[in-house]
Chain A
Amino acid sequence: MRLSADELVFWRHGFIKVNATIAYTWGLMILMALGAKLITRNLSKDLKRSRWQNLLEILVTAIGKQIGEIGLRDPGKYLGFLGTLFLFIAMANICTILPGYEPPTGSLSTTAALALCVFVAVPYYGITDRGLGGYLKSYLEPTPIMLPLNIISELSRTLAMAVRLFGNMMSGAMIIAILLTITPFLFPIVMTALGLLTGMVQAYIFSILAAVYIAAATRPVTEQKPERKPK
């Protein structure tokens, strides 16, 4: 029994290899990109529009609204990163209902990669918004004594994100696999439904946490200009 999809390698050439995690990720990427391309191919700018366009508009505006509610000004700037984070994890988790599919998020390598992306994105957005000095100064708050703890916090939360998502998804897949051997019919279906819920919750938690970390790294609320619309 495999603990991670990384162990299933389809192709290898020395250091480079294509395992199930990467392959399924590509599949998801193609699915999402093609789906988006197909739906946005004939976008209507009138009041009347297709169901799929409505769905995507609701999704995009809801993500933007959520980013705004967390305290980030100009949600459009973070929509690409945070929205894709949520959509990728959500899609990866939803697809667990397909037989033979193994979610890439069930691999610690994927979750670590995502957590690393967040780990890089936080200082990137912080420095873009506040400048290098302003961002580094945030490590000395509220007192310089907190600097080591802040650094540890930065690292540990990245690790926590990676392990939390991996643990949840891996455990879900693992439980279904174990239940399939014990009670083949009813319980796996229930657990799959539960797994879908857990997957959505994890996608939400991951992206919300990323948003919160970025919001903390960017300009604090007290420094924000008064013209910001209250939510």
Chain B
Amino acid sequence: MLIDWFTVGAQALNFIILVWLMKHFLYKPILNAIDAREQRIAKEIADADAKKAEASKEQEEFRKKNETFDKERTDRWAKAGEEAKTEGARLLTEARKVADALSAKRRESLASDARNLNDAILRKTQQEVFAIARKALGDLASTGLEQSLAGVFIRKLGEMDAPSKEIFGAALKSSDSPAVVRSAFDLPQDARDAVQKALNETFSTEVRLSFVTAPDSIGGIELAANGQKVSWSIANYLGSLESAVSELADPKAKATPATTAAPATIGASDGSHA
């Protein structure tokens, strides 16, 4: 008999035991390990997906930030350009103003320098001319310059026109105080006497005189009485010279107060000085 029924039963039992053993020791651990690994891989994939999503989100955020930044930069750039332009214009205007002021100041300074120079030249010229004239007159005659000036003054008195003579004569008579003769230097007694005499003759009266030395009236003689004045001075000639020098120094600056004076005037006028 090929079949032994005890063996059949024993083998069936053995097989069932083997199935249990295999399930317990082989299939279950292996399948668990595979499942765990699959879960782990799935988790890693999910993590990777999440990270990818996060990365793309961050990328998008970064891109937006970049765009905002670019826009802001462009705006600021434009604003800064505008501000720089405005500031530049303002600075330019200010600089122009300052330059204009400096230029005006410089012109003024130049004009002042020119005036000072003119004054200096004038003074020097007056002194030199006076010295030359004194020397020339001294050399030419035995009389000094003072006497010549007194002579000229007397001659000019004689050449006075009638209305002026009349006005001045009235002034001399109405005055209580003596008439003042101002000269740049002390007149010698003979010159004083000549002046006294000429005045007495001219106004047909005894004119009381008081002689005063005024060094600033260059080379001239001035007679003042009761608000009326008769004068002759080299200053008038020097005024002409000054204006001529000024024109040489600055052809544009023609208007100076000295040029208005007539050369060697004589006559009666209101005011204290010509």
Contact across chains for B11 and A110 when beta carbons are under 8 A apart: yes
A114 and B15: CB pair below 8 A?
yes
- B residues within 8 A CB of A56? 26, 30
The minimal Cβ–Cβ distance linking B30 to chain A, given in whole angstroms, is: 5
CA distance A46 to B40 in the complex (A): 8
Total A-B pairs, Cβ < 8 A: 122
- B residues bordering A, Cβ < 8 Å? 2-12, 14-19, 21-23, 25-27, 29-34, 36-37, 40-41
Complex CA distance for A209 and B11, rounded to whole angstroms: 20
B218 to chain A, nearest CB (A): 124
Out of A22, A26, A47, A116, name the residue touching B7 (CB < 8 Å).
A22
With A46-B37, A60-B31 as given contacts, are A15 and B6 in contact (CB-CB < 8 Å)? yes
From B21, which residue of chain A is reached at the shortest CB distance?
Answer: A33
Q: How far is the CA of A136 from the CA of B40 in the complex (A)?
A: 44
B11 near A21 (CB under 8 angstroms)?
A: yes
- Interface 9-residue window, one of A76-84, A141-149, A199-207, A212-220: A76-84
Supposing A3-B2, A40-B25, A80-B22 touch, asked if A22 and B33 sit within 8 A by C-beta, the answer is: no
9 extra A-B contacts, CB within 8 A, seeds A29-B18, A40-B25: A33-B25, A36-B25, A36-B26, A47-B37, A56-B30, A79-B27, A107-B7, A107-B11, A116-B12
Known A-B contacts A22-B7, A110-B7; the reply to A117 vs B25 at CB < 8 A is no
| A117 CB contacts on chain B under 8 angstroms | 12, 15-16
Contact, CB under 8 Å: A40 / B14: no
Q: Is the CB of B18 within 8 A of A88?
A: yes
In the bound assembly, the distance between CA atoms of A85 and B14 in angstroms comes to: 12
Contact A17 B22 (CB under 8 A): no
Residue of A26, A36, A114, A117 most packed against chain B (CB within 10 A): A36
Q: Which of A22, A37, A43, A85 contacts B11 (CB 8 A)?
A: A22
A98, CB-defined interface residue at 8 Å: no
* Closest-CB distance, B157 to chain A (whole angstroms): 141
Cα of A150 to Cα of B14 in the assembled complex, Å: 30
Let me know if A83 and B27 touch, CB within 8 A.
yes
Contact A60–B3 (Cβ < 8 Å): no
Interface residues in A, total, Cβ within 8 A: 48
User: Which of the residues A6, A19, A25, A45 comes within 8 Å of B33, measured between beta carbons?
Assistant: A45
Instruction: Known contacts A6-B4, A43-B33, A45-B40; decide if A113 and B17 are in contact (CB<8 Å).
Output: no
Q: Write the A27-62 contact mask toward B (1 if CB under 8 angstroms, else 0).
A: 001001100110010011111010001001100110
Decide: A112 and B8 in contact? CB cutoff 8 A. yes
Once the chains are docked, how many angstroms separate the CA of A168 from the CA of B107? 136
Q: Which of B2, B6, B29 contacts A4 (CB 8 A)?
A: B2
Closest B residue by C-beta to A19: B7
Q: Is the CB of B30 within 8 A of A57?
A: yes
* Residue numbers in A under 8 Å from B11 (CB-CB): 21-22, 25, 104, 107, 109-110, 113-114
**CB closest chain-B residue, reference A104:** B11
CA gap between A88 and B11 in the complex, in Å: 12
Q: Are A37 and B19 in contact (CB under 8 A)?
A: no
CA distance A4 to B2 in the complex (A): 7
Q: Is the CB of B17 within 8 A of A60?
A: no
Instruction: Choose from B14, B29, B34 the contact partner of A22 (Cβ within 8 Å).
Output: B14
Taking CB atoms, residues of chain B closer than 8 Å to A36 are: 21-22, 25-26
The answer to whether B14 touches A25, judged by C-beta atoms less than 8 angstroms apart, is: yes
Q: What residues of A have a CB within 8 angstroms of the CB of B17 in the complex? A: 29
Cβ distance B104 to chain A, nearest Cβ, rounded Å: 92
List of B residues within 8 angstroms of A21 by Cβ = 7, 11
- The chain B residue sitting closest to A116, CB to CB, is B12
A61 to B27, CA, bound (A): 10
Known A21-B7, A36-B22, A83-B22: A53·B33 in contact at CB below 8 Å? yes
Q: Tell me, in angstroms, the Cα distance from A45 to B33 when the chains sit together.
A: 5
Shortest distance in angstroms between A213's beta carbon and chain B's nearest beta carbon?
Answer: 16
Which of B6, B22, B29, B37: most chain A CB closer than 10 A? Answer: B22
A72: CB under 8 A from chain B?
Answer: no
Is A182 at the interface (CB under 8 A from chain B)? no
Q: Does A87 contact B (CB under 8 A)?
A: yes
Q: Identify the closest chain A residue to B37 (Cβ).
A: A45
